[in-house]
Chain A
Amino acid sequence: MHSNRFAGLLVLVALLTPILPAQAQEMDHSMHMNHNMPMGDSLVWRMAPMDGMTMPMMPGMMDDIPDVGAFLPGFGMDVSMYPEAKPSEIIDMADGDTLHMDASLVRRTIDGREYVMMAYGGMYPGPLIRADRGSKVIVEFTNNIDMPTTVHWHGLRLDNAFDGIPGLTQDPVETGESFTYELKFPDTGMYWYHPHMREDVQQDLGLYGNMLVDPTEEDYYAPVNREVPLILDDILVDANGLFPYGEEAPTHALMGRFGNVMLVNGISDYNLDIQAGEVVRFYLTNVANTRTFNVTFDGARIKVIADDVSKLEREQFVSSVIIAPAERYIVDVYFDEARTYDITNSIQAIDHFRGIFVPETHQLGTVTASGQASEDNAEAFAEARTNEDTIADIDNFRRYFDKAPDHNLRLTIETKDLHPMTMRMMEVDTLYFPPIEWNEGMPMMNWLSTGEEARWTLLDEDTGKKSMEINWQWEVGDKVKIRIFNDPSSFHPMNHPFHVHGQRFVITHIDGVENRNMAWKDTAIIPVGSTIDILVDVTNPGKWMAHCHIAEHLHAGMMLGFEVFEQGAGPQAGR
């Protein structure tokens, strides 16, 4: 029966589709321009960009639009009325300091075109908050955008009341209102802050920034010539400007919203000038809605020294850096030659129509090395340090690594009223799902899927509860093992970056193989078909969330709750 359906579809396509050359070609969307905005006071949908798609438009899809309204901030307004955003600044904060910061609509220029976007503190990215480990600071936040919002301080093990989760830790901050966040920094490393309401819109439009927590110990990291934060992002635009978002619910719910313009620190033409021979420490943060990057530095040697929340047990040389949405990595890169180095995203994209891998390289920026470095850190760079402090910290937890899982979680998806052609195509193209979806293989079907039609699900295999039905209950001091299985038999299996609020964890095993170089994390990528075991160090009381950090998946339901009680105060005995 399945083969008859496949054969029938094959005949239908052969009869109805014009022969196309084998090479990818631009899709002609001129017939859709009558769907352009504006129409009166309403923003209407236009065809989404289909960059590089080789698959011909399927019958019955050509005039389809998502089953939600279209939305853009500042729609219909003169873009020049918004203040121009300025590049990010570093805000050094001492213990007890207060920062006043707002979220507002701004004017941004990307690739020579102006857009209405959003910014923290009027900056892109938002101001880099720099503080010492152990310090506490205050952020007085005011919402000046035209949507309710909150601010989540990603990766910080701060007090629950300030975690920024609407309906759980606080009410939404409405337009014109304010909220005071108290931040504390118990862990050295790079963190970031972003909204926790309609992240698919607000974060994508520029509401993100870093927090750099400096060590208080001498010689915590090896010496380098300079330190540079790099925030990786992408944005979806077309000839008419920013591509609209779903108003009532996110579009692009199946795969997440891939952008077609790469951004580093908010710009598309990032360049760093250095001296040849320098070792540069990059603090990488991925704030894209869904894109996982494979970052390379054009042959320059790369050494990974730290992960989300801690240094690695052992520094490690790598040929590229894989970084999923919401993850951070600290890497030292040695630029020994005087030349221009390309920073790229190098992937093996999948052309679903032809069933082949296609190498793609996306330019992210450049590093221009000239002259000669005044300070030689090459010798320090050549050494891959063993971080005894990280090892000693993790030693306290090793006896729990082989325990039975406390929770078994399956990542899957439920669908309702998806476009019939999407359903048919997904049933046909099921022979292979890659571990990581590096590119948007089916842009039309992705765009048409909304968060109401594609409900991404976290399934507790022990209780049968799904997503926000789940409310795990732990106590401070618990060492909780969660086994996460990304089900390849689901309707559309895809990688998910799994994020736990307020606590830290280590990855103990990947597909049954022990992880032999650990670091503390708050976000872990779960590839398709894989089983990842994490051990959570439960230290922070309160009501928290865990969720997929693909923005569209989060808002399509892929989240769960857990509550941490003080030791001895929980409804269940500590484990």
Chain B
Amino acid sequence: MTRKFPLYVGSLLLLSIAVLASPTLDADSSPAEATPECSLVSSPDYYEIDLVTTRKVSGARLAKGKGEVTYAASPFGISVSEEGSYLVNIDVSMSNVRLDDDKVLVAWVTTPQLDQIKALGTLDENLQVTGQTDFNKFLLVVTLEPRDKEPGAMWTGPVVSRGMSRSGLMHTMAGHGPFESEPCAVYGY
């Protein structure tokens, strides 16, 4: 390990320089302007979804992203479906991504069982999109798709990033122990 360590550090340094030097597509980075006090409040950090890169897609191996969750507009302050599922808006934003001209990023939500998939939308030139879902637990997935095709029933391209909703982290001893009802370890949780 001692012999490998300098090599490791050197590689890391080179990589860092390469990343810093390369042009990237960033989310809107216009200068901060004086904003009303209300806009200093953002979506609840508690329910924010961290999008983790899969490191599999060229140009996006170091991508960063997040899904900010707020309630769909409602006269009640929060919004739920007729069955009681929270209806939320998800503001997806990505950065540190370099795409070919014929490719776009598309955001999706899917259940942990992957049995329901819904497209949130295609990220715009600022790598942002907003969509809505009423899934109780969900994975937020961003994939690389052809620019000239509308998102279909599910993604066709590779997964760039993914993250789990806060509710999806709800696991107890029963979820992992002898009373397991969700084999979450199988898909990495």
Instruction: Tell me the A residues contacting B by CB distance below 8 Å.
Output: 6, 9-10, 13-14, 19-20, 22, 54-55, 294, 296, 304, 307, 312, 316, 318-323, 329, 346-348, 350, 352-357, 359-360, 401-405, 428-429, 431-436, 438, 483, 488, 507-514, 516-517, 519, 524-525, 527-533
Central interface residue in B39, B82, B181, by most chain A CB within 10 Å: B82
Cβ of B166 under 8 Å from chain A: yes
Chain A residues with CB under 8 A of B182:
354-356
Across the two chains, which residue of chain B brings its CB closest to A21?
B179
Cβ of B30 under 8 Å from chain A: no
Give Cα A359 to B74, complex, Å.
Answer: 21
Which residue of B40, B78, B83, B137 is within 8 Å of A525 (Cβ)? B78
Cβ of B1 under 8 Å from chain A: no
Min CB distance, A433 to chain B, in Å?
8
Chain B residues with CB under 8 A of A512:
38-43, 70
Across the two chains, which residue of chain A brings its CB closest to B86?
A435
Give Cα A352 to B171, complex, Å.
Answer: 8
Across the two chains, which residue of chain A brings its CB closest to B89?
A513
4 tightest A-B CB contacts, nearest first: A402-B36, A529-B46, A529-B44, A432-B170
Min CB distance, A25 to chain B, in Å?
12
Min CB distance, B35 to chain A, in Å?
9
Chain A residues with CB under 8 A of B137:
357
Cβ A354 vs Cβ B181 within 8 A: yes
Give Cα A192 to B84, complex, Å.
Answer: 26
What is the interface of chain B mostly: helix, strand, loop, or mixed? loop
Cβ of B154 under 8 Å from chain A: no
Cβ of B45 under 8 Å from chain A: yes
Give Cα A304 to B71, complex, Å.
Answer: 18
Cβ A355 vs Cβ B75 within 8 A: no
Asked if A355 meets B170 with Cβ closer than 8 Å, knowing A321-B76, A512-B39, the reply is: yes
Min CB distance, A244 to chain B, in Å?
30
Give Cα A493 to B176, complex, Å.
Answer: 24
Instruction: Tell me the B residues contacting A by CB distance below 8 Å.
Output: 36-47, 70-71, 73-86, 136-137, 166-167, 169-179, 181-182
Chain B residues with CB under 8 A of A20:
179
Across the two chains, which residue of chain B brings its CB closest to A315?
B75
Can you name 13 A-B pairs with beta carbons within 8 Å?
A: A10-B173, A320-B81, A322-B74, A322-B76, A355-B171, A355-B172, A356-B175, A435-B86, A511-B41, A512-B43, A512-B70, A517-B73, A527-B77
Give Cα A510 to B75, complex, Å.
Answer: 11
Cβ B171 vs Cβ A513 within 8 A: no
Chain B residues with CB under 8 A of A432:
166-167, 169-170
Chain B residues with CB under 8 A of A307:
75
Min CB distance, B112 to chain A, in Å?
10
Min CB distance, B37 to chain A, in Å?
4
Give Cα A403 to B42, complex, Å.
Answer: 16
Across the two chains, which residue of chain B brings its CB closest to A20?
B179
Cβ A312 vs Cβ B38 within 8 A: no
Cβ A517 vs Cβ B75 within 8 A: yes
Min CB distance, B174 to chain A, in Å?
5
Cβ B136 vs Cβ A357 within 8 A: yes
Central interface residue in A19, A22, A354, A525, by most chain B CB within 10 Å: A354
